[in-house]
Amino acid sequence: MQRISRREFVKRTAVTGAAFTSFPALLAACGESTGANKVSKLVLAAVQGNEDGPLKKVVGNYKSQTGIEVQIVEFPYDSLFSKLVTTFQANDSSYDLCMMDDPWMPKFGTMGALQPLDSSFGFTRDSDIPTVVYDVGTWPPPHGPVPPTEQSKAQHLYGITIVGNVEMFMYRSDKSSAPANWDAVLANAKQFNAANFYGYVIRGKATNPVSSDSLPILWSFGGNIFDDTWKVQLDSADSITAVDFLTRKLKQYAEPGAANFDAAERSQAMATGKAYQSTVWPGEITGIVEDPTVSQVKGKVAYIPIPQGPSGKGLGMMGNWLLGIPKGSHNGSAAADFIKWMLKTENMRNYVAQGGVPIRKSILNDASLAAANPYFKALAASFDAVPNWRPRTDQWGAVETSYGTAMNAAVAGQLTPQAAMQQAASQIRATMKGAGYPS
């Protein structure tokens, strides 16, 4: 074996190392140059769970039809949000598409993190899709208060809903008729509450869960987090009455340990026949309550829009999951084609067959699909009633954390409804003032 000098060894090592380290970069560069002509793969950042399950099942069809692979990279809910924020801050090109919960839209809209779908890729509104579905993906928001820094921006469509989530209400239809309002909900809770059978289920876990669970009640009672000028309303009489209704009156008939109940526990309680009624998201219905392999109550539960409160309105809450195209993506056009493909009626029908939540009115009102999807009628009605969305502010994460922590303390009995809402209002006022909103 030929002996080499130390200097020669170092030199050869350096050259070999450089070659190895630059090889992937060369490959990537080659990929980019060919990618300008034809994209072979799109990378989609998705939320792990019921929301992306049906999507994973239909992307194979897209590959067989177009030859383009859609690689789905999954993250848990909170991780996806922080991952997307840091990716957008770096204008990174890792993802060509991203799934976004609709309350994230203000953050991403304010950051200017997404490519406009209307002006860049020719998306127009389809009359078969509810207006509010387009509105929720539009930034700045077409109605309601607009953040001070965003008022001069031109409106564009940045996200298209692929999971038409609206919070609804479920009850055991084998035991009673539908409650007309929240008073009837309370009466039914009292009537049907029994040992090992909860009259009502509160999804009371801290922050996002209890916030989602309580906002429809807050709105239906005339309360709110903000008014139209961003003034905090949580310590108003109507808001406190709503919180009192949930955390004291309904809680009397709710499950023990409500302060730690999340969606999984609620669905489990309903599916095992231990509960009479609660609010519900479509994913819980298809994933658990109506799944014959795990549910003991299939066919015994009915779904209706959120019942009316003293305000005369029953306001469901949007929780749409949208698809958007990050500004950093080099494959925007191909990504837009995938979104258009998802929206086609025949593809959405297939998506529904895989457990997807549709947004087309024609599908939601299709009688042939109603038996397999007993919540479609209620979802269509919820869209018609125009559900509320969570306040369109990039401070929503902070607002939800303050509100959800105080609500959790109220559900746990640590704070009175009034003290909880005063605490939340005080924290949210400080947050909003610091962010330049009128306090």
Partner 1 sequence: MSRLVAELPAPTGTKPAGTGRRRRSRQERLAYTILLPALGTVFVIVTIPFVLAIWQSITADDGTLVGFRNYTRALSNPLFYDALRATGLYALIVLPTEILLGLGFALLVHRAVKRAGLRATLYVLAVLPLVVPPVAVGVVARLIYAPGYGVLNYVLQSVGITHSEIQWLSDPLLAMGSVASVDIWQWTPFVYLVLFAGLQTVPKESVEAAQVDGATWWTQFRYIELYYLRPLFLLILFFRMADVLRVFDHVFILTGGGPGTATQLLSLYIYRIEFRFFDGGQAAALAVLVLVAISILYSLVTRALPLERA
How many positions of this chain bind partner 1 (CB under 8 A)?
36
**Smallest distance, partner 1 to C-beta of residue 244, A:** 17
Which residues, at least 6 apart from 234, have a Cβ–Cβ distance to it below 8 Å?
A: 223, 224, 225, 403, 421, 424, 425, 428
72-111 residues in contact with partner 1 (CB under 8 A) are 78, 81-82, 85, 107
Quick one: which of 411, 421, 424, 425 contacts partner 1 (CB under 8 A)? 411
Closer Cβ to partner 1, 40 or 426, answer by number:
426
- The site string for partner 1 over 355-394 (x = CB under 8 A, - otherwise) reads ---------------------------------------x
- Backbone conformation region of residue 405, classed left if phi is above 0, alpha if psi is from -120 to 50, else beta: alpha
Q: Read off the DSSP letter of residue 235.
A: T
Of 270-329, binders to partner 1 (CB under 8 A) are 274
Instruction: State the DSSP H helix or E strand holding residue 46, giving kind and residue range, or none if neither.
Output: strand 41-47
Nearest to 251 by CA among 285, 281, 213, 280: 213
User: Least distance to partner 1 from the beta carbon of 428, Å?
Assistant: 11
Per CB under 8 A, the list member of 47, 259, 306, 339 interacting with partner 1 is 259
Q: How far is CA 200 from CA 289, 295, 307, 385, in A?
A: 15, 18, 14, 24
Work out how close the CB of 195 gets to partner 1 at its nearest, in angstroms, rounded to a whole number. Answer: 10
The least CB distance from residue 98 to partner 1, in Å, is 16
Using the contact rule CB under 8 A, the part of the chain among 261-269, 279-287, 322-330, 343-351 near partner 1 is: 261-269
Which of residues 222 and 397 has its CB atom nearest to partner 1 in the complex? 397
CA distance 354 to 82: 29
Answer for which of 55, 359, 401, 421 binds partner 1 (CB under 8 A) is 401
Residues 199-258 touching partner 1, rule: CB under 8 A, are 205-207, 209, 255-258
Tokens representing 117?
């779908």
CA separation for the pair 93, 116 (Å, rounded):
16
d(CA 84, CA 99): 9
Task: Note every long-range contact of 178-181, with CB atoms under 8 Å and residues 24 or more positions apart, other chains counting.
Answer: 178/302, 178/304, 179/277, 179/307, 180/307, 180/308, 181/307, 181/308, 181/309, 181/314
Nearer to partner 1 by C-beta: 274 or 349?
A: 274
CB of 436 to partner 1, least distance (A): 11
Nearer to partner 1, 144 or 436 (CB): 436
The DSSP 8-state label assigned to residue 372 in this structure reads: T
Using the structure block, give the residue that is written with the tokens 């593809």: 347
Exposed, middle or buried by CB within 10 Å (0-12, 13-18, 19+), for 430? middle
Is 408 a residue that touches partner 1 (CB under 8 A)? Answer: yes
Query: Roughly what angle, to the nearest 10 degrees, separates helices 396-411 and 208-220?
Result: 80
Distance, in Å, from the CA atom of 337 to the CA atom of 328, rounded to the nearest integer, reads 17
Residue 31 or 257: the one with the smaller Cβ distance to partner 1 is 257
* Stretch near partner 1 under the rule CB under 8 A, chosen from 18-26, 162-170, 382-390, 395-403: 395-403
CB-nearer residue toward partner 1: 130 or 147 = 147
User: Given candidates 224, 268, 277, 329, which one binds partner 1 under the rule CB under 8 A?
Assistant: 268
Beta bridge partners of 318: 166
Nearer to partner 1 (CB atom), residue 80 or residue 343 = 80
Going 321 to 47 to 25 to 63, the CA torsion angle's sign is negative
Binding site for partner 1 (CB under 8 A): 78, 81-82, 85, 107, 205-207, 209, 255-261, 265, 268-269, 274, 394-395, 397-398, 400-401, 405-406, 408-409, 411-412, 414-415, 427, 431
